[in-house]
Amino acid sequence: MSDAMTKTDAPQDETKRDFIFIATGAVAAAGAASLAWPLIAQMGKAADTLAAGSIEIDLSRIDEGQQVKMLWRGKPVFVRHRTPAEIAEAESTNLADCPDPAEDSSRLIPKADGSVDPRFLVMIGVCTHFGCIPLGEAGDFNGWYCPCHGSHYDTSGRVRKGPAPKNMEIPNYTYISDTVIKVG
Protein backbone atom coordinates (compact mmCIF):
# COMPACT_ATOMS: atom_id res chain seq x y z
CA MET A 1 0.00 0.00 0.00
CA SER A 2 1.41 3.38 -0.91
CA ASP A 3 1.07 6.17 1.57
CA ALA A 4 -0.83 8.26 -0.95
CA MET A 5 -3.70 5.78 -0.92
CA THR A 6 -6.68 6.75 1.18
CA LYS A 7 -8.17 4.27 3.59
CA THR A 8 -11.39 3.94 1.62
CA ASP A 9 -9.51 3.07 -1.58
CA ALA A 10 -7.55 0.23 -0.12
CA PRO A 11 -10.23 -2.53 0.17
CA GLN A 12 -11.55 -1.76 -3.32
CA ASP A 13 -8.10 -2.15 -4.75
CA GLU A 14 -7.60 -5.51 -3.06
CA THR A 15 -10.84 -6.86 -4.43
CA LYS A 16 -9.82 -5.73 -7.86
CA ARG A 17 -6.45 -7.39 -7.43
CA ASP A 18 -8.08 -10.66 -6.29
CA PHE A 19 -10.33 -10.57 -9.32
CA ILE A 20 -7.42 -10.03 -11.70
CA PHE A 21 -5.46 -12.75 -9.96
CA ILE A 22 -8.29 -15.28 -10.20
CA ALA A 23 -9.17 -14.29 -13.76
CA THR A 24 -5.54 -14.67 -14.86
CA GLY A 25 -5.33 -18.02 -13.14
CA ALA A 26 -8.57 -19.19 -14.75
CA VAL A 27 -7.37 -18.22 -18.23
CA ALA A 28 -4.06 -19.98 -17.64
CA ALA A 29 -5.87 -23.10 -16.39
CA ALA A 30 -8.21 -23.11 -19.38
CA GLY A 31 -5.23 -22.65 -21.67
CA ALA A 32 -3.37 -25.52 -20.03
CA ALA A 33 -6.43 -27.76 -20.26
CA SER A 34 -7.01 -26.96 -23.94
CA LEU A 35 -3.36 -27.72 -24.62
CA ALA A 36 -3.53 -30.94 -22.60
CA TRP A 37 -6.51 -32.27 -24.54
CA PRO A 38 -4.66 -32.84 -27.86
CA LEU A 39 -1.84 -34.46 -25.91
CA ILE A 40 -4.31 -36.91 -24.41
CA ALA A 41 -6.52 -37.40 -27.46
CA GLN A 42 -3.60 -38.29 -29.74
CA MET A 43 -3.41 -41.65 -28.00
CA GLY A 44 -6.90 -42.64 -29.14
CA LYS A 45 -7.77 -44.48 -32.34
CA ALA A 46 -6.30 -42.76 -35.40
CA ALA A 47 -8.41 -42.05 -38.47
CA ASP A 48 -6.95 -44.98 -40.41
CA THR A 49 -7.67 -47.32 -37.53
CA LEU A 50 -11.26 -46.11 -37.36
CA ALA A 51 -11.58 -46.48 -41.10
CA ALA A 52 -10.47 -50.12 -40.95
CA GLY A 53 -13.28 -51.40 -43.07
CA SER A 54 -15.62 -54.30 -42.98
CA ILE A 55 -15.07 -57.87 -44.08
CA GLU A 56 -17.33 -60.16 -46.06
CA ILE A 57 -17.63 -63.83 -45.20
CA ASP A 58 -19.11 -66.45 -47.53
CA LEU A 59 -21.04 -68.85 -45.31
CA SER A 60 -21.58 -71.42 -48.04
CA ARG A 61 -17.91 -72.33 -47.87
CA ILE A 62 -18.12 -73.37 -44.24
CA ASP A 63 -19.13 -77.01 -43.78
CA GLU A 64 -21.23 -78.29 -40.96
CA GLY A 65 -19.16 -78.65 -37.78
CA GLN A 66 -16.51 -76.35 -39.18
CA GLN A 67 -15.36 -72.98 -37.83
CA VAL A 68 -13.52 -70.18 -39.59
CA LYS A 69 -11.49 -67.46 -37.90
CA MET A 70 -11.14 -64.11 -39.68
CA LEU A 71 -9.25 -61.04 -38.48
CA TRP A 72 -11.44 -57.98 -38.14
CA ARG A 73 -10.20 -54.79 -36.51
CA GLY A 74 -7.27 -56.72 -35.06
CA LYS A 75 -9.57 -59.24 -33.42
CA PRO A 76 -10.62 -62.68 -34.61
CA VAL A 77 -14.21 -63.23 -35.70
CA PHE A 78 -15.47 -66.79 -35.23
CA VAL A 79 -18.03 -68.15 -37.67
CA ARG A 80 -19.21 -71.58 -36.65
CA HIS A 81 -21.48 -73.77 -38.73
CA ARG A 82 -23.19 -75.55 -35.86
CA THR A 83 -24.39 -79.15 -35.98
CA PRO A 84 -28.06 -79.86 -35.17
CA ALA A 85 -26.95 -81.33 -31.84
CA GLU A 86 -25.10 -78.13 -30.96
CA ILE A 87 -28.10 -76.01 -31.92
CA ALA A 88 -30.39 -78.17 -29.83
CA GLU A 89 -28.04 -77.91 -26.90
CA ALA A 90 -27.84 -74.13 -27.24
CA GLU A 91 -31.61 -73.72 -27.48
CA SER A 92 -32.48 -76.04 -24.62
CA THR A 93 -30.10 -74.46 -22.10
CA ASN A 94 -31.66 -73.41 -18.85
CA LEU A 95 -30.87 -69.67 -18.66
CA ALA A 96 -30.65 -69.89 -14.89
CA ASP A 97 -27.34 -71.69 -15.42
CA CYS A 98 -25.87 -68.75 -17.33
CA PRO A 99 -24.00 -65.96 -15.56
CA ASP A 100 -24.98 -63.67 -18.46
CA PRO A 101 -28.39 -65.03 -19.53
CA ALA A 102 -29.27 -64.69 -23.22
CA GLU A 103 -31.52 -66.78 -25.48
CA ASP A 104 -29.68 -68.47 -28.32
CA SER A 105 -31.94 -66.65 -30.80
CA SER A 106 -30.92 -63.28 -29.36
CA ARG A 107 -27.34 -64.09 -30.34
CA LEU A 108 -28.18 -64.43 -34.03
CA ILE A 109 -28.79 -61.52 -36.36
CA PRO A 110 -31.79 -62.02 -38.69
CA LYS A 111 -31.61 -61.90 -42.47
CA ALA A 112 -33.35 -59.20 -44.52
CA ASP A 113 -36.57 -61.22 -44.53
CA GLY A 114 -36.56 -61.44 -40.73
CA SER A 115 -35.68 -65.14 -40.46
CA VAL A 116 -32.71 -66.34 -38.47
CA ASP A 117 -30.35 -69.08 -39.53
CA PRO A 118 -29.43 -70.91 -36.31
CA ARG A 119 -26.71 -72.83 -38.09
CA PHE A 120 -24.30 -69.93 -38.29
CA LEU A 121 -23.02 -68.42 -35.06
CA VAL A 122 -20.93 -65.28 -35.62
CA MET A 123 -18.98 -63.95 -32.64
CA ILE A 124 -15.94 -61.90 -31.76
CA GLY A 125 -13.63 -64.71 -30.68
CA VAL A 126 -12.23 -62.93 -27.71
CA CYS A 127 -12.63 -64.11 -24.15
CA THR A 128 -14.46 -61.44 -22.16
CA HIS A 129 -12.09 -62.01 -19.26
CA PHE A 130 -8.75 -60.68 -20.47
CA GLY A 131 -8.97 -60.97 -24.21
CA CYS A 132 -7.39 -64.32 -25.03
CA ILE A 133 -8.73 -66.39 -27.92
CA PRO A 134 -10.77 -69.36 -26.72
CA LEU A 135 -10.17 -72.78 -28.27
CA GLY A 136 -13.05 -74.32 -30.24
CA GLU A 137 -14.82 -77.62 -29.50
CA ALA A 138 -13.42 -77.60 -26.02
CA GLY A 139 -14.49 -77.06 -22.44
CA ASP A 140 -17.19 -78.61 -20.30
CA PHE A 141 -20.03 -77.34 -22.51
CA ASN A 142 -18.80 -78.50 -25.95
CA GLY A 143 -18.32 -74.90 -27.01
CA TRP A 144 -15.16 -72.96 -26.34
CA TYR A 145 -12.55 -72.99 -23.64
CA CYS A 146 -10.17 -70.15 -22.84
CA PRO A 147 -6.70 -71.50 -22.04
CA CYS A 148 -5.60 -68.40 -20.20
CA HIS A 149 -7.75 -68.49 -17.09
CA GLY A 150 -10.13 -71.37 -17.71
CA SER A 151 -13.44 -69.85 -18.82
CA HIS A 152 -15.92 -72.25 -20.46
CA TYR A 153 -18.36 -71.17 -23.16
CA ASP A 154 -21.27 -73.20 -24.55
CA THR A 155 -22.35 -73.82 -28.15
CA SER A 156 -23.99 -70.40 -28.21
CA GLY A 157 -20.78 -68.66 -27.04
CA ARG A 158 -22.33 -67.95 -23.65
CA VAL A 159 -20.05 -68.06 -20.63
CA ARG A 160 -20.98 -70.93 -18.35
CA LYS A 161 -18.07 -71.34 -15.99
CA GLY A 162 -14.87 -69.52 -15.03
CA PRO A 163 -13.85 -65.91 -14.48
CA ALA A 164 -15.23 -64.37 -17.71
CA PRO A 165 -18.07 -62.00 -16.82
CA LYS A 166 -19.92 -61.91 -20.15
CA ASN A 167 -20.83 -63.97 -23.19
CA MET A 168 -18.62 -63.65 -26.23
CA GLU A 169 -19.61 -60.50 -28.07
CA ILE A 170 -21.71 -60.57 -31.24
CA PRO A 171 -20.32 -58.13 -33.83
CA ASN A 172 -22.53 -55.93 -35.92
CA TYR A 173 -23.10 -57.87 -39.14
CA THR A 174 -25.70 -58.05 -41.90
CA TYR A 175 -26.68 -60.65 -44.49
CA ILE A 176 -25.91 -59.10 -47.85
CA SER A 177 -27.21 -62.19 -49.61
CA ASP A 178 -28.57 -65.53 -48.45
CA THR A 179 -25.10 -66.93 -47.82
CA VAL A 180 -22.79 -63.91 -47.46
CA ILE A 181 -22.47 -61.74 -44.38
CA LYS A 182 -20.73 -58.41 -43.97
CA VAL A 183 -19.12 -57.75 -40.61
CA GLY A 184 -18.67 -54.10 -39.58
Task: Identify the residue among 121, 164, 168, 181 touching other proteins (CB under 8 A).
Answer: 164
Q: Is 43 in the site for other proteins (CB under 8 A)?
A: yes
Task: Identify the residue among 46, 47, 51, 96 touching other proteins (CB under 8 A).
Answer: 46
The answer to whether the beta carbons of residues 128 and 159 sit under 8 Å apart is: yes
| Residue placing its CB nearer to other proteins in the complex, 65 or 147 | 147
Backbone phi and psi for residue 68, each to the nearest 5 degrees, phi listed first:
-110, 150
The interface region with other proteins, picked from 21-29, 81-89, 110-118, 141-149 by CB under 8 A, is: 141-149
Task: Identify the residue among 2, 47, 63, 74 touching other proteins (CB under 8 A).
Answer: 74
- Say whether 149 is catalytic: yes
| Residue placing its CB nearer to other proteins in the complex, 4 or 40 | 40
Q: Which residues contact 99 (CB under 8 A, 6 or more apart)?
A: 159, 160, 165
The DSSP code sequence of 35-94 is: HHHHHHHTTS--HHHHT---EEEEGGGS-TT-EEEEEETTEEEEEEE--HHHHHHHHT--
CA dihedral 19, 22, 27, 31 (to 10 degrees): 170
Backbone phi and psi for residue 71, each to the nearest 5 degrees, phi listed first:
-90, 125
The answer to whether the beta carbons of residues 92 and 137 sit under 8 Å apart is: no
Q: Could you give the string, one character per residue 102-131, with x where binding to other proteins holds by CB under 8 A and - elsewhere?
A: ---------------------------xxx
Q: State in angstroms the smallest separation of the CB of 151 from other proteins.
A: 9
Q: Is 143 in the site for other proteins (CB under 8 A)?
A: no
Q: Is 149 in the site for other proteins (CB under 8 A)?
A: yes
Q: State in angstroms the smallest separation of the CB of 122 from other proteins.
A: 16
Distance CA 63, CA 49 (A): 32
Using CB under 8 A, list all residues that contact other proteins: 43-46, 49, 52, 69, 71, 73-76, 129-133, 146-150, 162-165
Active site residues: 149
